[in-house]
Structure 1
Amino acid sequence: MDRLKIERVGGVAGFGGPHLKSRGEVTLSDLSAADQKAVEQLFADPDKVPAARRGQADAFSYRITRGAQTIEVPEHAVPSAIRNSVKDVLE
């Protein structure tokens, strides 16, 4: 369960419509120790992740899947290495 699958969702009116998907993958062991710890904390107790900040109604959130577990967290709580792994693709 070393691979994380990431999907960026939301944004302004569901940015990009139904045909533009924002996805990425990253190997947990390739992340820095600090980013690995941040990811572990997100999965350990996803209910403690701070909600989207006030005034960010159209902010992105990230669905992160590790094995059979999927969490969805606001963009500000996601380590930059994970955010940077996401690319936009047309389907």
Structure 2
Amino acid sequence: MDRLKIERVGGVAGFGGPHLKSRGELAVSDLSSADQKTVESLFADPKKIPAARSGQADAFSYRITRGAQTIEVPEHAVPSTIKNSVKDVLE
């Protein structure tokens, strides 16, 4: 379970349509120790994941999968290393 699969979802009216997907993959070991702790805390208690900030109805969120567990985290709570691993691809 050393790999994270990441998908960026949401945004302005589902920007990009059904053919544009924003995905990435990252080894947990590639994260700084601080980011590893952040990820661990998000997965340890998904009920404590911060809510989206008010006034950001069209903000992105990140669906992060580790093994069989998937969480959805608002953009402001995702470490930048994880956000930067996501690339847009046409399918």
Under TM normalisation by the shorter chain, which class is it?
over 0.9
Cα offsets for 1:37-87 (capped at 9, x unmatched):
000000001111111101000000000000000000100010000000000
Aligned residue for 1:7? 7
Equivalent residue runs for 1:41-80 within 5 Å: 41-80=41-80
Specify every segment of 5 or more residues in structure 1 that has no aligned partner in the other structure, as ranges: none
Specify every segment of 5 or more residues in structure 2 that has no aligned partner in the other structure, as ranges: none
Aligned residue for 1:21? 21
**Deviation beyond 4 Å, 4+ runs, structure 1:** none
Q: Equivalents in 1 of 2:7, 2:86: separation in Å?
A: 7
> Which amino acid is the alignment partner of residue 83 of structure 1?
K
Root mean square deviation of aligned Cα: 0.4
| Partner SS, residue 34 of structure 2 | helix
Kindly state the Cα deviation for residue 17 of structure 1 after the two structures are TM-superposed. Answer: 0.4
The alignment-based identity, stated in percent, is 88
